[in-house]
Structure 1
Amino acid sequence: MSEEKKEEEKALPDGARGAGEAQTPPVDPEREAKLKAAAEARAARAAAKEKADKEAAEAAPPEPKPPSPKQPELERIVELLKRDVSEEAVEDAYVNELNGDMPTVVVRNAHWRPAAELLKRHEELSFRYLRNVSGVDYETHMEVVYHMVSLGTKREAAIKVKTEREGASVYSATPVWATAGWNEREIFDLLGIDFPGHPDLRRIMMPDDWVGHPLRKDYEPLDSEV
């Protein structure tokens, strides 16, 4: 700037000096500090995520879970049912981890009668004690579950038999295990599953003229207050 120009600037009022030139806003130290801290936090999170992703990718895959010690028991039950009853007798089979690794076999309804005889009479299986029978409404189908024990070996197993909800019917286990009698009557009463072959199948809790089966998912009581 020439000396003449400088003299002109000095002669101008303070508010007029530098008019027409860009003005720099004042710096807010507190705001700048917050912006810097936020940027550093974002960078730290991004770095931590990148590190975690890299470690996860480099980590060795978990070792496969060892098979259940009761897997051989399950496989033997399935083998005998397929060999001595029918190749089609078993619909599914698995070890139920949530129930103490219980060997669980889904037997096809059509083969349940001879399967029940085999499970009790076979010398190796010898499930002579029927601990409990229960029924379940899955809305898509009904299911009867038989929990049995071999008193000699202390082995246990659960056998499931599925049936359609309409005209639900499963061969009675009462002629094989007498203890199934009252359990099947209760299931018949509360879920409406018929048990052909039961010696005395009638309601056990509700009156004979009661309408419907209270444990069915679609049950609607005649009196909403009950």
Structure 2
Amino acid sequence: MINGPISLRDKLVESGLSPEIADALGEMPQRRVQLDPRRPFREPGMARDEVMFVTSGLVSKYKSDASGRRQIVALRFPGEGILPREGSAAYGIQAIVKSEVLVGKAADFDPIIEKHPELARYFWRLIQRNESIGYEWLVNCGRRDSTARVAHLLAETATRYGINPDSEPLPNPFTQQQIADITGQTSVNVNRVFADLERQGLIKRQGRDIFFKDWNEILRVASFQPNYLD
């Protein structure tokens, strides 16, 4: 289920890192930053000489076309991060909901990685996981129909949040426009899809909560196979 702010150290240990190495990363100089979902935190083209870890909320990477239309290309959930890179990045960063991130400098992060090969392997596995998620999103936008795209996003979001779909609702973090920006369609289409999913008895909406009434059918409609999230 979705909880409050997480401890970066605890998340690293839970993921398999030794407490000593988790402590080394946790002692890196960092600042806590509150992100407002109403405006970008980092614009495309800015230098990425920093590392970010999400402690609460939900953060997105996005790109815009020449007319300003936005495509959300990745999500970062609590416990996940955005690693530094050389030069500038083509994507921007914006919170989906009010969020908190820890921000550190690459100049402090890189020496820790070089000193601890175990930590380097840990982040390499995360890079591979994010790559797999990106491939799945590409298929979702390019080959699945409107209903399957939305169902897949709901299934992935519930899984990444650790929701038990048989007993817990998913507190929907997205607006209809954000879902449209993720799944490559219009907000009008998204509204229609939600109505269809309810009409078919697959979900029930109550405020911001989405109750899964037939999880197995949602997985079938979405062609959702969670192995890419491992």
TM over 0.5: no
Q: TM-score, normalised by structure 1?
A: 0.23
The structure number with the bigger radius of gyration is: 1
More helix by share: 2
More strand by share: 2
